Amino acid sequence: MRLIFTALFALSASPAFAASGPFFSLKNTDFVVLLAFLILVGIMLYMKVPKAIGDMLDKRAVSIKSELDEAKALREEAQSLLASYERKQKEVQAQAERIVASAKDEATKAAATAKEEIATSITRRLAAAEEQIASAQAAAVKDVRDQAIVVAVGAAKDVISNQMDAKSAGSLIDDAIATVGDKLH
């Protein structure tokens, strides 16, 4: 209120010094402007415009305060959500690291198992190959013996047939019959 009166006196003083002629005359434009201004201020005070403006400013201040409180609450909620997501991210990252470590362990175990299986398979194949070699060797030895026997029998037959006469053939037959008879009884 003091400010308004101070402004009015300042405004009323300055035009009075600048004007020519009597100040309190309706022909003086400065006086008419001052009078219109004072009437306007009076009407505004009568209509309680300053109180209405104050009330509107108070309402605006209250709404701004409520918006600030709401913004503060939203900020706190956002910070709690951010903290929650950061915790979840850490948990997911830890879980991913555990999964990777588990996969590496399983891969290492699978590789070791595969190496053991390959070693076992190689051992079995070597044993089977050795058995085949021994079997082939035994078959070759048997074939050589059989061939040797066939050759020896053929040679013996040729030698015996060349050296044998009827008398020695009869004695050989008699000896063979005696041997068979002894073995049967």
pTM: 0.39
Q: Kindly write down the DSSP assignment for every residue of 28-83, as one continuous string.
A: -HHHHHHHHHHHHHHHHHHTTHHHHHHHHHHHHHHHHHHHHHHHHHHHHHHHHHHH
Give, in degrees to the nearest 5, the angle at Cα 107 between 106 and 112: 95
C-alpha to C-alpha distances, 52 to 10, 36, 56, 117, 167, nearest whole angstrom: 26, 22, 6, 94, 166
CA–CA distance, 157 with 44 (Å, rounded to integer): 159
| Per-residue pLDDT reduced to its tens digit, 25-52 | 878 889 899 999 999 999 988 999 889 9
Q: What stretch of H or E contains 108?
A: helix 49-163
Rg (CA), the chain: 66
pLDDT over 90 at 182, yes or no: no
2 or 136, which is more confident? 136
For 94-129, how does the pLDDT look when each residue is reduced to its tens digit (9 = 90+)? Answer: 999 999 999 999 999 999 999 999 999 999 999 999
Closest listed residue to residue 33, CA positions, set 2, 3, 4, 11: 11
In angstroms, the CA 31 to CA 177 distance is: 179
Bigger pLDDT: 15 or 175?
175
Four-residue CA torsion sign, 144, 149, 152, 154 = negative
Indicate if the pLDDT at residue 169 is higher than 90: no
pLDDT band, very low/low/confident/very high, at 2 (cuts 50, 70, 90) = low
Residue 140 vs residue 25, higher pLDDT: 140
User: Of 37, 46, 47, 53, nearest to 4 (Cα)?
Assistant: 37
Across the chain, what does the average pLDDT equal? 85
Q: Tens digits of per-residue pLDDT, 62-100? A: 999 999 999 999 999 999 999 999 999 999 999 999 999
Please give the average per-residue pLDDT across 7-35, as a whole number. Answer: 70
Average pLDDT over residues 7-30: 66
The answer on pLDDT for 142 being more than 80 is: yes
pLDDT on residue 176: 80
Q: CA–CA distance from 16 to each of 29, 30, 32, 42 (Å)?
A: 11, 7, 12, 21
Would the pLDDT of 7 be above 80?
Answer: no
